Structure 1
């Protein structure tokens, strides 16, 4: 009898994204009948935030100081806030300067704009309006200049830089103000372009290579399985680029043959994926508190300030909040761009473990500082770019077929990764994306006002 193992997100696995794009364009989707009469699902219902799992609630209670009722309300509020932020992002256009959540038990959505006349429209959506000088596009342009300068600049004394939405600036974390000033100057920026935070810490990769469901690379180094994925008829899991190179062979936690790295990128990005043999079965599960499974239903990106939980083999299941997206980290082993910074603790061996917001996949552990005794900072590689760049489909409780991402207006299709602001055609109507996600089969625009609005 064949013994089949489940490819789960148990404990920690480094997942990532790379450059294998599916090139086949799917046929146009036939017009879908009108949705049934009655109210459409709310954002919380679409994202499963109204049905939180016990492991998520228990960890939020422990790590965020919430009661189960407060944790449940927070998950629902964060799901609804993501939709409202998406609508405002689309309506504000180039004036949009970011959206984030603040507060612990009663989360408040904050949306920034560069035009005072936008304030009434923002408050009408139940958000706090903030008028700032720089748009989100302006801030990302500054970060891109720093990213470009880091190619030729020694960043050992400037290990971190990121878009700080509440401060409306790009912040450079450095070991001295002189080091930060030199880095900013090397990027062709003036002293006012970026804020400086002096710190003695430097992020490190969290990899003495143990993980959720541990796996071994070429019989020696050890990492962990993250989110299960499929590509066509092949199944496997995402992991970190610093775990192994393309062609490296893996064995499972029980030392049986498992699979092969199909692609790997590090530094620049920290991503790879492993295709497994037929002895292993991909599931939608991530290992939560007490070994209980959290079933993943999608990959809708959470806002800065939202609660997020992580699974790892060294320290188990822990929660915290998202601090910033769009973070560049200079590890001793190389620089990685586009990471998300969190307050979740982690330790070596937790590398590659899955980050989830409710039941929505967010990313996989890359590295960080500190530990789970004194606290720390952990960075994760966002999962949606991973899925898009490798042409992968996230294994979910109700997954759709894989399809490539296009940049022009396109027909909506399950399996594609859609960025916030993308425009699609579905059933003869144009829709604009509210929140970055990989489309699931049941998430057609006509049925998910949490994710789409008519363009």
Structure 2
């Protein structure tokens, strides 16, 4: 079940001081007590989203083929784990998962069955304007069709879904059209297109670089931090379409000081501390050059999206809004995890819609880069290293840094200074009245103020 949100709402990040619970402790006996101190091995633990993600990873390894997905219940703050084939084996499966602190429920569809159904959709229903992702909350595949899927195309999609069998997939129509969020005309960065910087990283050769969307990387070879400005970075690798939507872009000056933070506007930054896997049900924040800071929930994983340019696999599906120019921007969690890079979707920040993101973890693995800042003297190999067969597809260019700031990590300190020890607490997420956003991330459709702010941010750290 998706949660409806006011699409006009901007997220507000406030400082918090809650230390993250060590993942290794989650499966230990002394970690089974509830927060009030009561010892109840079968009672689900109250967890933060990041800790739930860590626990889910451990339980997936522990449960093997019985594991059928998991999600974070943001209302109860509990991890829900789906299991299949537990008859006669409850002690080895359900009890272990419950003792670890998860809420366990038995479901019909196994991970293998859902994967097979997704493969059938790929074979029979790869239609531009369609997308599908596994939704562990329903234990089904969520299939979405945009407004271009009509007539014979709709009939083909619907019959394919029905052919999967009852209880295997659901289908819904989107009010918008699936597209990548590149903006033309008033380009801020390069090649007539505007995107957003995702996260600063260190390339495998030690040089400073950043990640952004792959479709930005194939739009232009060089990018600037100001409209009509001199290029500051060149695409090294780009993947789009295909197995992802990501680019690795190296700064031309190998002495560039590229901070590991996200610029959320108003002079505030969020420190990026680690890469994080997405968890269905978890709250996430997106920063982009067009619309600034917004929040929402993860709806599905391993999503396949059939854009007009081609099919992209392995994405994260969310209900966070985005608009042209936000492509490549940061998706991050309140406790400082770098989750994704904005790919595309339907709708906008007025009507809402679905938005898909490239997982940061797979982008890092494919490019050989590591999350975090690269310091001066990190290497004079700025053009080197085509990692993992890195394609310089279509002259790949790189994500624009149109105000995106890099994401992940600590919380925004209201004093203006980033506090890496704090966790972002977006519980006061928005102001539906449309009042001034305390984060200072103003609407960037008029882009002047934000572009100037972003330009100053990057110039400050690129000398």
Q: 1:333 aligns with which of 300, 309, 316?
A: 309
RMSD between aligned alpha carbons? 3.7
What TM-score results when the alignment is normalised by the length of structure 2? Answer: 0.63
Q: 1:284 aligns with which of 260, 271, 281?
A: 260
Provide the residue aligned with 1:262 in structure 2: 236
Q: 1:138 to 1:79 in 2, by over 3 A?
A: same
For structure 2, list consecutive stretches of 5 or more residues without a partner in the other structure: 1-17, 25-44, 379-384, 389-463
- The reply on whether 1:242 has 2:215 as its aligned counterpart is yes
Residues 129-162 of structure 1: CA distance to partner in whole angstroms, max 9, x if unpaired? 1111222232123213323445xx5x03x51111
SS, match of residue 44 in structure 1: coil
Shift of 1:187: 9.6
Residues 164-188 of structure 1: CA distance to partner in whole angstroms, max 9, x if unpaired? 2122222322346974663476799
- The reply on whether 1:167 has 2:111 as its aligned counterpart is no
Q: 1:128 to 1:46 in 2, by over 3 A?
A: closer
CA distance, structure 1, for counterparts of residue 82 and residue 65 of structure 2? 12
Provide the residue aligned with 1:15 in structure 2: none
Instruction: Answer yes or no: is the 8 Å Cα contact 1:230–1:394 preserved in 2.
Output: yes
Shift of 1:388: 0.7
Residues 387-445 of structure 1: CA distance to partner in whole angstroms, max 9, x if unpaired? 111111111599xx9x9x99xxxxxxxxxxxxxxxxxxxxxxxxxxxxxxxxxxxxxxx
- The reply on whether 1:348 has 2:319 as its aligned counterpart is no
- The reply on whether 1:321 has 2:297 as its aligned counterpart is yes
- The reply on whether 1:297 has 2:297 as its aligned counterpart is no
SS, match of residue 350 in structure 2: coil
SS, match of residue 182 in structure 2: coil
Shift of 1:237: 1.1
Q: 1:128 aligns with which of 93, 96, 103?
A: 103
Q: 1:307 aligns with which of 283, 289, 294?
A: 283
Provide the residue aligned with 1:394 in structure 2: 371
Shift of 1:310: 0.6
SS, match of residue 385 in structure 1: helix
CA distance, structure 1, for counterparts of residue 315 and residue 208 of structure 2? 25
- The reply on whether 1:253 has 2:226 as its aligned counterpart is yes
Shift of 1:302: 3.3
Instruction: Answer yes or no: is the 8 Å Cα contact 1:207–1:351 preserved in 2.
Output: yes
CA distance, structure 2, for counterparts of residue 75 and residue 282 of structure 1? 37
Q: Which moved more, 1:158-167 or 1:238-247?
A: 238-247
Provide the residue aligned with 1:373 in structure 2: 350
CA distance, structure 1, for counterparts of residue 20 and residue 354 of structure 2? 29
Shift of 1:112: 0.6
CA distance, structure 1, for counterparts of residue 65 and residue 23 of structure 2? 28
CA distance, structure 1, for counterparts of residue 367 and residue 269 of structure 2? 26
Instruction: Answer yes or no: is the 8 Å Cα contact 2:323–2:349 preserved in 1.
Output: yes
CA distance, structure 2, for counterparts of residue 230 and residue 148 of structure 1? 38
Shift of 1:45: 5.7
Q: 1:108 to 1:235 in 2, by over 3 A?
A: same
CA distance, structure 2, for counterparts of residue 185 and residue 93 of structure 1? 32
Provide the residue aligned with 1:222 in structure 2: 194
Give the structure with the higher percent strand. Answer: 1
Instruction: Answer yes or no: is the 8 Å Cα contact 2:236–2:248 preserved in 1.
Output: yes
SS, match of residue 217 in structure 1: coil
SS, match of residue 282 in structure 1: coil
Instruction: Answer yes or no: is the 8 Å Cα contact 1:307–1:319 preserved in 2.
Output: yes
Instruction: Answer yes or no: is the 8 Å Cα contact 2:47–2:77 preserved in 1.
Output: no
Instruction: Answer yes or no: is the 8 Å Cα contact 2:23–2:54 preserved in 1.
Output: no
SS, match of residue 305 in structure 1: coil
For structure 1, list consecutive stretches of 5 or more residues without a partner in the other structure: 1-40, 48-73, 407-455
Aligned positions, number: 332
Instruction: Answer yes or no: is the 8 Å Cα contact 1:297–1:397 preserved in 2.
Output: no
Instruction: Answer yes or no: is the 8 Å Cα contact 1:322–1:340 preserved in 2.
Output: yes
CA distance, structure 1, for counterparts of residue 316 and residue 268 of structure 2? 26
CA distance, structure 2, for counterparts of residue 78 and residue 167 of structure 1? 19
Q: 1:194 to 1:133 in 2, by over 3 A?
A: closer
Shift of 1:325: 0.9
Q: Which moved more, 1:288-297 or 1:350-359?
A: 288-297
CA distance, structure 2, for counterparts of residue 253 and residue 338 of structure 1? 32
CA distance, structure 2, for counterparts of residue 244 and residue 81 of structure 1? 33
Q: 1:78 to 1:198 in 2, by over 3 A?
A: closer
Within a 5 Å distance, the mapping from 1:79-94 to structure 2 comes to: 79-94=50-65
- The reply on whether 1:97 has 2:71 as its aligned counterpart is no
Q: 1:308 to 1:209 in 2, by over 3 A?
A: farther
Instruction: Answer yes or no: is the 8 Å Cα contact 2:257–2:373 preserved in 1.
Output: no
